[in-house]
Amino acid sequence: MKKQLNKIFGLLSYLLVLSLLFNFNWVLILRPKPFFSVILGTVILTASQYKKEFSKEDIAACLRWNLLFSSFLTTLISILSSISNMRVSDGGSWDITESLLPMLYGSIIYLILNILLNEPAKKEISGQNDESVSNTNDLFNPALAQRVFIEYGLTNRECHVALKLLENISNKEIASQLYISEATVKKHIQNIYQKFGASDRNSFKMIYINSINNK
């Protein structure tokens, strides 16, 4: 959280520097209509795309893209509306300040979302890596896997296929990588399952992992 706050503070500091350089008054952009148009558009688009199987990462990605799309579309429609209505400011030029605000709101909110949603994910991934890196290395260690496979009576070619099964590679890809037919791959897999007492890939992996843990 501290890193997130530091990043948000950095963003606000940068915006402050820009306002000083260009002598910009941020009070002028505090208009609810374009702001809520962007937020409402983002919510509606995300809700329409939502699926039950969506993970937090999927929702975060949808929010980001829909925020950009909503801000762009709102800006475009607002500009077109201003031009079509020929609304002229006192200075004799088209007043498109409000029309450009959605892009500004969208950009700022996008950066804030990127900070808030990315940091926890990175921490979670980092924590998972710290806890499981040794187990993962052991699981896919060819030398250790070879010993387990030999204990179950696998042939040399079956060992190669079994390693590919652990990597979640499809039968077609295994055939391509080992330069054998897909039918041959299926035959090897049947033999592997029979020797391991497994019925499918998941049970094969579980038996293999249990064998690794018992060593």
**Residue with more model confidence, 199 or 14:** 199
Q: Say if CB 109 and CB 67 are below 8 A apart.
A: yes
Residue 57 has pLDDT above 60, yes or no: yes
Residue 96 has pLDDT above 80, yes or no: no
Residue 189 has pLDDT above 90, yes or no: yes
Residue type at position 68: L
The reported pLDDT for the residue numbered 7 is: 77
Residue 119 has pLDDT above 60, yes or no: no
How many residues are there in the chain?
Answer: 215
The reported pLDDT for the residue numbered 185 is: 93
| CATH tag for 140-213 (out of 1.10.10.10, 3.40.50.150, 3.30.70.100, 3.40.50.1000) | 1.10.10.10
Residue boundaries of the structural domains of the chain:
2-132, 140-213
CA end-to-end span of the chain: 41
**Residue 118 — very low, low, confident or very high, per pLDDT cuts 50/70/90?**
low
Residue 161 has pLDDT above 90, yes or no: yes
Residue 64 has pLDDT above 60, yes or no: yes
Each residue of 20-38: pLDDT tens digit? 887 877 776 778 888 888 8
Give me the percent of the chain exceeding a pLDDT of 70.
80
The reported pLDDT for the residue numbered 1 is: 62
Residue 110 has pLDDT above 90, yes or no: no
Each residue of 13-24: pLDDT tens digit? 887 888 788 787
Q: Count CA within 13 A, CB hemisphere, residue 77.
A: 11
The reported pLDDT for the residue numbered 24 is: 74
Q: CA 46, CA 55: separation in Å to the nearest integer?
A: 13
The average confidence (pLDDT) of the chain is 79
Q: CA 149, CA 195: separation in Å to the nearest integer?
A: 9
Each residue of 39-52: pLDDT tens digit? 998 899 888 888 77
pTM beyond 0.75: no
DSSP state of 89: -
The reported pLDDT for the residue numbered 132 is: 46
